[in-house]
Amino acid sequence: DSGVTQTPKHLITATGQRVTLRCSPRSGDLSVYWYQQSLDQGLQFLIQYYNGEERAKGNILERFSAQQFPDLHSELNLSSLELGDSALYFCASSAEGYGYTFGSGTRLTVV
């Protein structure tokens, strides 16, 4: 157990739908990062939050949004889902921004 909790582990949904992925960071970590990993692809940075505020943004689609709540957990919202959004979505957390700890991921399948 890495200390970063992601739910759900698996999600199957239809095109056009909206889903919410949840991440609880490791205790004490203020930064949360979201990454997308498609089949045989690397880890694509989506967005970072630090203590409730957006810190950095990557190639995140406009259909995707995220937020970090006062208790530091974060949610990634994916809407108007397309087949190409099927991927593993990872959350990671860090204290000072050096050692990332990843969760086990949410596998999203859009059918």
Identify which range of 19-27, 61-69, 70-78, 97-105 contacts other proteins by CB under 8 A. Answer: 97-105
One-letter amino acid of 47: I
Identify which range of 17-25, 40-48, 69-77, 78-86 contacts other proteins by CB under 8 A. Answer: 40-48
CB atoms within 10 A of CB 17: 13
Choose which of 80, 97, 109, 111 interacts with other proteins (CB under 8 A): 97
Owner of token pair 């050692």: 99
78, 86 Cβ separation under 8 angstroms: no
**Pairing assessment for the beta strands 31-37 and 87-94 based on DSSP bridges:** antiparallel
Which stretches of the chain bind other proteins, using CB under 8 A? 2, 4, 31, 33, 35, 41-43, 45, 48, 55-56, 58, 90, 92, 94, 96-105
